[in-house]
């Protein structure tokens, strides 16, 4: 079955032909999406048999690359005992302990199935704890597709040019003065500690520290959305890397080892407000399901300092892309900002290199990317600008 045939079928049964909007690739000038068939290591293969060096890696979860043998074996072993129970399991406890041991601010964890769900839970919890409704967030930040988070969001919303009504006092990222002007009476400040949905944008010196101070002064909770940065820019996420601790943390992607799993965590006295311990209701049939927890444990237990040293070394090599545009990188996530990204994207795709089909997204390094894949990418980008 060719990609053209699949696209024609998909348009008849799926809105827009895709189950997540940015996959349509309209923003980079393609008439139909890439239909993936399989992945291995640093490579993705489409249904037409074309093979690509993959810098998307399912938007970040695959820190050990596609079809990582240890992760696959862990999932298979778990599946043999049952795919879901709707009951508590040992792996849920183990994964919560693993997260708590890694992320500095987290004393208790609630597992859920998606980053959107985790962000919704964090917001509901913050509102209950503070007995306030307003939230402060940042233009271009993306915290999932729940109503409160969508206006002026990044990622697919910005890529598609969609106008979305939402709640929130929206201010520019890295602008502490703007936050100071709107934080009074807010339940929380919701922030990606490293912006990853307008391309990668690093926090300015003192920005995260300033947010912590403003929240302490105003009584608002500080919520770090570390769905992207968690376990990627450091084992303990951006809060470990920058030394600023939030009240609540939203995690996803790597924490599930490539399967649908996310989490919200924070100080115990806050987290114990969640039902059944407290009065803030949250539930999910597949929360902490056996396959996702097995995958998450397999990945998190292998994220040693040596892994991050390796990723940083690879990152320093890929920094050569900065010769051709503004290149922003922190740890194993980066973005090359150029004037005509869609043309660059198509140029690279034609040469077997798959970048995110949006300038508003990041490229992700993995342990599976070797010197050959990095050099090939650098050479292909250089050829575009020559």
Query: Is 12 known to be catalytic?
Result: no
Q: Are 119 and 190 in contact (CB under 8 A)?
A: yes
Residue among 43, 52, 68, 225 flagged as catalytic = 225
Q: Where are the alpha helices (DSSP H) in 220-340?
A: 237-242, 268-271, 290-300, 305-318
CA-to-CA distance for 14 and 315, rounded, in angstroms? 37
Give the phi and the psi of residue 262 in degrees, each rounded to 5: -145, 175
Beta-strand ranges (E) seen in 217-337 are 221-226, 248-251, 262-266, 326-330, 333-337
Task: Confirm whether 46 is a catalytic residue.
Answer: no
Q: Which of 43, 142, 308, 354 is catalytic?
A: 142
225 as an active site residue: the answer is: yes
Beta strand residue intervals within the chain, DSSP E? 36-40, 43-46, 51-54, 108-112, 135-138, 169-171, 188-191, 221-226, 248-251, 262-266, 326-330, 333-337, 353-354, 363-364
3-class SS of residue 135: strand
Q: What CA–CA distance (Å, rounded) separates 386 from 381?
A: 9
What contacts 343, CB < 8 A, 6 or more positions away? 29
Among 54, 173, 247, 253, the active-site one is 253
- Active-site residues, by number, are 142, 225, 253
């Amino acid at each position: 079955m060719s990609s053209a045939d699949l696209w024609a079928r998909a348009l008849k049964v799926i809105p827009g032909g895709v189950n997540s909007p940015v996959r349509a690739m309209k923003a980079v000038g393609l008439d139909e999406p890439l239909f993936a068939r399989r992945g291995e290591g640093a490579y993705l293969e489409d249904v037409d048999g074309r093979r690509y060096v993959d810098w998307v890696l399912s938007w970040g979860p695959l820190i050990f690359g596609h079809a990582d043998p240890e992760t696959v074996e862990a999932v298979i072993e778990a599946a043999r005992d049952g795919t879901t129970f709707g009951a508590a399991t040992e792996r849920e406890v183990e994964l919560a302990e693993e997260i708590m041991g890694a992320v500095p601010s987290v004393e208790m964890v609630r597992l859920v199935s998606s980053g959107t769900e985790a962000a919704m839970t964090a917001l509901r919890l913050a509102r209950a704890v503070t007995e306030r409704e307003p939230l402060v967030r940042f233009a271009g930040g993306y915290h999932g597709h729940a109503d409160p988070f969508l206006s002026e969001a990044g990622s697919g919303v910005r890529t598609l040019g969609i106008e979305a009504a939402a709640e929130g006092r929206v201010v520019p990222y890295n602008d502490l003065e703007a936050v100071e002007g709107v934080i009074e009476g807010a339940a929380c400040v919701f922030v990606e500690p490293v912006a990853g949905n307008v391309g990668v944008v690093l926090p300015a010196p003192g920005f995260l520290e300033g947010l912590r101070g403003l929240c302490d002064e105003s009584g608002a909770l500080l919520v770090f959305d570390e769905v992207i940065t968690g376990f990627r820019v450091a084992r303990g996420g951006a809060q470990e890397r920058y030394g600023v601790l939030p009240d609540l943390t939203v995690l996803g992607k790597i924490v599930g080892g490539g399967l649908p799993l996310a989490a919200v965590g924070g100080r115990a006295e806050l987290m114990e407000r969640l039902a059944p311990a407290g009065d803030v209701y949250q539930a999910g049939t597949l929360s902490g399901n056996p396959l996702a927890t097995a995958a998450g444990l397999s990945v998190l237990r292998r994220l040693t300092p040596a892994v991050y040293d390796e990723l940083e070394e690879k990152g320093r090599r890929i920094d050569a892309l900065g010769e051709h545009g503004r290149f922003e990188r922190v740890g194993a996530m980066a973005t090359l900002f150029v004037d005509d990204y869609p043309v660059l994207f198509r140029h690279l795709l034609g040469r077997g290199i798959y970048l995110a089909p949006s300038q508003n997204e990041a490229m992700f390094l993995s342990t599976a990317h070797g010197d050959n894949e990095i050099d090939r990418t650098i050479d292909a980008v250089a050829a575009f600008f020559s």
